[in-house]
Structure 1
Amino acid sequence: MAKFLNKKTCYIGKNVTLGKDVVIYENNHIEGNVNIGDNTIILPGNTIVNSTIGTNCKIHNSVIEESTIENNVNIGPFARLRPNSIIKSNCKIGNFVEIKNSLLKEGTKISHLAYVGDCEIGKNCNIGCGVIFANYDGKTKHKTTVGDHVFIGSNCNIIAPVTIENDCYICAGTTITKDCKQADFVIGRAKQESKPNAAKKYW
């Protein structure tokens, strides 16, 4: 049986199914066909609509619409999962991450400040802070495919359509416009220049 910490502050729709030992904190709105698995914790401030959430998950102050979340997943705070997002087991979706029409496979982590649209991302990837998957060219949406065990550093732009194969390492600040082959080390940013004492004129 689910445990509510303050049921008066929650809206739970008639088609919501709650597993054993689910804990629901105050100020949650859960509606439509929602199934929440055993031992999952719904922390304060979520909106969950027409979605499936597996066992042993933790959801904090996020919006989840028409999406599927498997087991042992942490989401939030302040994440948004738009329709047709599929999050496999043992993933982490952190603060200010937006995901739309994308598949994240097991063990992948997107901890903060990223947009993931129209993507398939493999297992055990790390997507850094400020990464943008640029899926729209002004007319058409395009797909990005990322293999397993890929590291994408902070502030990268991934311009779809592209494929990044397994075991690639994408350095921070890189813009990807071409496919990356397996185990490529990719850097695409301007070289830093330091001019000694030149900053004095600004102070």
Structure 2
Amino acid sequence: SIIGKNCKIDKSAQIGPNVSIGDNTIISSGVVIENSIIMSDCKIDGGLNIKDSIISANCHLHGDNKDKTKKLFLLGEGTKISL
């Protein structure tokens, strides 16, 4: 995995193999990321389980993923999603 500068990743988050996280990105507690590209200045929270995704810069993903199902995203710059 590749982690950019000034990222804040909660210690309970799981960053799996083949993951690239851009600068200034915040990954909150319980988030799981596998085989994905997260570009700079993103925020991901709510315990989301992200796999095989590309998330462009300045995106905010918020969710309540109690069932822990894996989500696949292909998001353009500046997208905000609340699940």
Distance (whole Å) between structure 1 residues aligned to residue 58 and residue 81 of structure 2: 12
Match of 2:52 in 1: 66
Counting only pairs closer than 5 Å after superposition, residues 92-171 of structure 1 correspond to structure 2 as 92-95=80-83
* Greater Rg by CA: 1
Amino acid across the alignment from 1:41: I
Which stretches of structure 1, 4 residues or longer, exceed 3 Å deviation after superposition? none
Q: Which residue of 2 aligns with 1:49?
A: 34
TM-score under structure 1 normalisation? 0.37
Counterpart secondary structure, 2:20? strand
| Residue identity in the other structure for 2:40 | T
**Distance in 2 (alpha carbons) for counterparts of 1:71 and 1:50:** 17
Runs of 5+ consecutive residues of structure 1 not aligned to the other structure: 1-15, 96-203
Task: Name the SS for the 1:45 alignment partner.
Answer: coil
Distance in 2 between residues matched to 1:27 and 1:87, nearest whole Å? 24
Query: Match for residue 88 of structure 1?
Result: 76
**1:25 matched to 2:10:** yes
| 1:37-63 C-alpha deviation (Å, 9 max, x unpaired) | 000000111010000001100000211
**Alignment coverage as a number of residue pairs:** 78
- Whole-angstrom distance in 1 between the partners of 2:31 and 2:14: 6
Query: How much identity, in percent, do the aligned residues show?
Result: 35
Deviations 1:102-145 (A, max 9, x none): xxxxxxxxxxxxxxxxxxxxxxxxxxxxxxxxxxxxxxxxxxxx
RMSD: 1.3
Q: 1:35 aligns with which of 3, 20, 28?
A: 20
Q: Between the two structures, name the one with larger relative contact order (CA 8 Å, sep ≥ 6).
A: 2
CA displacement at 1:93 relative to structure 2: 1.3
- The one-letter code of the counterpart of 1:24 is I
Structure 2: gaps (5+ residues): none
